[in-house]
Amino acid sequence: MLLLLMPVKRGGRSVVTVEIFVENYEKMRQRAIQKRLNIKEYVNEFLQGYLEKEEFLARVAPSLSVDSYQGNRITLKDVKKKILVDVFYVNGELQCETDQSNNCIHTKFIWMIPEISKIKTNGQKINE
């Protein structure tokens, strides 16, 4: 089924309506209240920040992507080096097995991506 979005003008800008799950709406509404924004302003600010971060990562680390994650490990694909890179969360730090470092491009990349919340430390997810 082809769905055509028909933007409308509001405040001189084109807007479209989207659907979000109630549980996500409630979280975002609470955050909007904390920031003293209305929900529309908060959602647009949130999305803009996320898109800017994605664009930044595409510029500074275009060869990196997440391959998989399990337990306290995230495996990255590094197409520039043509390798898979295992990074482990140990004692509050990310440790890159390939570079033997906690401050390489691989660890920095992981700190910036949403998948960081999927790794576990002592059976608990990391709280962002």
Per-residue confidence (pLDDT) for residue 122, from 0 to 100: 58
Choose among 79, 78, 22, 72: nearest CA to 87. Answer: 72
Locus of tokens 């790794």: 119
Residue 104 CB coordination number (10 Å): 16
Report CA torsion sign: 86, 90, 94, 98. negative
Domain boundaries, the chain: 20-60, 64-125
78-125 pLDDT, tens digit per residue, is 999 999 999 999 888 999 999 999 999 999 999 999 888 877 765 555
Predicted structure pTM score: 0.73
What would the pLDDT profile of 16-69 be if each residue is shown by its tens digit?
A: 888 999 999 999 999 999 999 999 999 999 999 999 999 999 999 999 999 998
